[in-house]
Amino acid sequence: MANRYLVVGGAGFIGSHLVAGLIARGDEVVVFDNLQTGHRAAIDARAHFHHGDLADPMALHAVFTGRRFDGVFHLADLSLVGESMQSPMRYLTINPSNAGRLIDACLRHGVQRLVYSSTANLFGTADTSPIGEDAPIAPASAYGESKFAVERMLLWAERVHQLHSACLRFFNAAGCDPGGRLGEAHFPETHLIPLAIDAALGRRPPLAVFGTDYSTPDGTCLRDYVHVTDLVAAHVLAMQRIAIGSVRYNIGMGRGHSVREVIDAVSRIAGRRVPVIAADRRPGDPPILIASADRIIHEMGWNPAYSTLDDIIETALIWRRNHPDGYANTAMQQRQTA
Ligand SMILES: NC(=O)c1ccc[n+]([C@@H]2O[C@H](COP(=O)([O-])OP(=O)(O)OC[C@H]3O[C@@H](n4cnc5c(N)ncnc54)[C@H](O)[C@@H]3O)[C@@H](O)[C@H]2O)c1
């Protein structure tokens, strides 16, 4: 049966893929986004777009009024780790207060299910690997702390108001729509794979490798990469699961790839060497971050199909080659033809 969902942040990297995935399932989708980091052209044309800011309670009220949502997905936080360490109060104020307004709107309008995009940053430099849901919470940044504050808010929204939620702690989201229409277009880009691809394609200076003397097999950090299409599947399963109660899931592949390994794979697949320079370690970068996703696999049968490193890089490369300016051209064309 078709459902109607609100996707907050549906113009962003992960949100736009989620919107397309829901529509492909036959669901009706409303996107709420202020386009501060998202792109109008990334929103599937069959979704209803509501331009608004989570800071504005009237805009939120307007999107809920006259519609009954079966659930809400929240993917619209400030999410730059480095920026959060320069302006911690901004992150610690904005992310929880925006989430608070969204939760409040859900409660006022009778929404009973909310899926929240949380982060592995909650676990800081965890002692265990792979990291399960019950590992100690010790955020590595103000960004991680702000996401944990939202998770706590959701806990109380369930205890007091019976709002069911899923907090999905993603490790590294990567890759692009295998159909080539949607991709990752962050400005500034901070993620390793699009940066390595751009360096290989000669669109940016050599890639800085932060730390080459970690206690890992090749001295560089290990990260767990999940293809955005598999992440979308996890969101859909989580929304179904919370019909019966709240959950916290870690989302990763249970295996790590080193920075060096990613660089070598991009060079091989692109057919062009990624130029690199060695740089100092960044404070707060854990040497190894690998998820245990056993809980969502066993409880929900999550079955990631796209998350090999080669599939991730191949899909990201197709997007970067076909959209050298991200969504810029498409957006410009839309304005010109409007
Ligand atoms: N990309 C990753 O690797 C990763 C990893 C862990 C967690 N996450 C989380 O997943 C979520 C989505 O990440 P992404 O990479 O797609 O980010 P993104 O920046 O591409 O998308 C965020 C979207 O939210 C919108 N937005 C932001 N603030 C808003 C506001 N106040 N009101 C309305 N809309 C607003 C932006 O315009 C954008 O379209 C974030 O919450 C992020 O913390 C991402």
Cβ burial, residue 25 (10 Å; 0-12/13-18/19+): exposed
Residue to substitute in 14, 131, 225, 232 for testing ligand 1 pocket (most ligand atoms within 8 angstroms of CB)? 14
Cβ burial, residue 18 (10 Å; 0-12/13-18/19+): buried
pLDDT for 69 equals 98
pLDDT for 286 equals 85
Contacts of 324 (CB under 8 A, 6+ apart): 203
What is the mean predicted confidence (pLDDT) over 147-159?
A: 98
The answer to whether 2 and 26 have CB atoms below 8 angstroms apart is: yes
Share of the chain above pLDDT 90, in %: 90
Share of the chain above pLDDT 70, in %: 97
Catalytic residue among 5, 91, 143, 327: 143
What's phi and psi for 251, nearest 5 deg?
Answer: -120, 110
Residue 33 β-bridge partners: 51
Ligand 1 touching residue 38 (CB < 6 A): yes
- Strand order of the sheet with strand 164-170? 48-51, 28-33, 4-8, 71-74, 113-119, 164-170, 247-251
pLDDT for 332 equals 40
Q: Both ends of the chain: CA-CA distance in Å?
A: 35
pLDDT band at 48 (very low <50, low <70, confident <90, very high): very high
**Which atom in ligand 1 lies closest to the alpha carbon of residue 79?**
43
Ligand 1 touching residue 153 (CB < 6 A): no
pLDDT for 162 equals 97
pLDDT for 173 equals 96
pLDDT for 334 equals 46
The answer to whether 131 and 187 have CB atoms below 8 angstroms apart is: no
The answer to whether 120 and 235 have CB atoms below 8 angstroms apart is: no
220, pLDDT greater than 50:
yes
CA 312 vs. chain centroid, Å, equals: 15
Distance 300 CA to ligand 1 centre (A): 25
14-18, 46-50, 205-209, 284-288: range with lowest mean pLDDT: 284-288
336, pLDDT greater than 60:
no
Distance 77 CA to ligand 1 centre (A): 5
Contacts of 286 (CB under 8 A, 6+ apart): 124, 125, 126, 140, 221
Distance 85 CA to ligand 1 centre (A): 17
What is the mean predicted confidence (pLDDT) over 76-94?
A: 95
Distance 33 CA to ligand 1 centre (A): 10
The pair of three-digit structure tokens given for residue 62, joined into one six-digit string: 């307007």
What is the mean predicted confidence (pLDDT) over 126-147?
A: 93
Ligand 1 touching residue 55 (CB < 6 A): yes
What is the mean predicted confidence (pLDDT) over 103-121?
A: 97
What is the mean predicted confidence (pLDDT) over 53-69?
A: 96
Residue to substitute in 6, 18, 32, 37 for testing ligand 1 pocket (most ligand atoms within 8 angstroms of CB)? 37
- What the chain holds in terms of domains, given with CATH numbers, is 4-337 (3.40.50.720)
pLDDT for 280 equals 95
Ligand 1 touching residue 12 (CB < 6 A): yes
Instruction: Give the closest residue (by CA) to ligand 1 atom 28.
Output: 76
Ligand 1 touching residue 229 (CB < 6 A): no
119-133: pLDDT as tens digits: 999 999 888 899 999
Active-site residue 214, yes or no?
Answer: no
Residue with tokens 């040497």: 287
Instruction: Give the closest residue (by CA) to ligand 1 atom 1.
Output: 173
Instruction: Give the closest residue (by CA) to ligand 1 atom 12.
Output: 75
Q: Which residues of 171-183 are buried (b: 16+ CB within 10 A; e: fewer)?
A: bbbbbbbbeebbb
What is the mean predicted confidence (pLDDT) over 111-140?
A: 93
Instruction: Give the closest residue (by CA) to ligand 1 atom 3.
Output: 173
pLDDT band at 335 (very low <50, low <70, confident <90, very high): very low
**Which atom in ligand 1 lies closest to the alpha carbon of residue 14?**
16
Dump strand ranges (E) for 151-298: 164-170, 172-174, 207-210, 222-223, 225-227, 247-251, 257-258, 276-279, 288-289
261-274: pLDDT as tens digits: 999 999 999 999 99
Distance 54 CA to ligand 1 centre (A): 12
29-39: pLDDT as tens digits: 999 999 999 99
pLDDT for 271 equals 97
Ligand 1 touching residue 35 (CB < 6 A): yes
